[in-house]
Amino acid sequence: MIEQKSASLEDTQSLGAALGQVLEAGDVVLLEGTLGAGKTAFVQGLARGLGVPAERRVASPTFTLVNEHAGRVPLYHVDLYRIEDPAELEEIGMSEYLEGSGVTVVEWAERLAHLAPAERVEVRFEITGEHSRILRAAAVGERAEARLQRWAEALS
C-alpha cells in the first residue's frame, strides 16, 4: 500500500501525473472517495502523465458516463456516480472498457460490483482539510503491484 498526502489541487494532479507515467495499455485504476475528494483532479493529472495534450479538457463524465482521451495509450475516464443498478454497466459496455487496449480509470468504482477486474490499482481519497487529502493506493494482482511499485519509485 502507498499513502500520499496532498495539500492542494496541484499536488493531487501531480500524484495522478506520476501514476499516469507508469501505466500501460490494459491497466485499470479504480477511484473511491466522497464528492469533492479529488478524484477528477487526480484523473486530470493522470491524463497528462499518459500524454493527453494539455489543451484537452479532462472533466468528470458524470452525464456521459465515459470520456475517451487520446494519449500515448487511450484513456477511458469513467464516472459511475449516476449508476444505480449494476445492470446498467452492461448497457454502456463497461466490460469492454475494463478489458480494452487503453487505460481505464473509474470514479465511484464501488459501483462496479462484480465487474471489478482481477488486476487493478485502487486509490481511496480521504478529505483531511479544506484543501488537504490523503490518498491510499493498493494493488490487486501482480501486474497492478508492479505499477504501484513503479509509482512509488517515481514519487520518491
Pairing of strands 120-127, 28-32: parallel
What share of the chain in percent tops pLDDT 90?
72
User: pLDDT of 21-63, one tens digit each?
Assistant: 999 999 999 999 999 999 999 999 999 999 998 888 888 766 6
Q: Which domains does the chain have, with CATH numbers?
A: 2-155 (3.40.50.300)
Q: Is the pLDDT of residue 17 over 90?
A: yes
The pTM of this model reads: 0.93
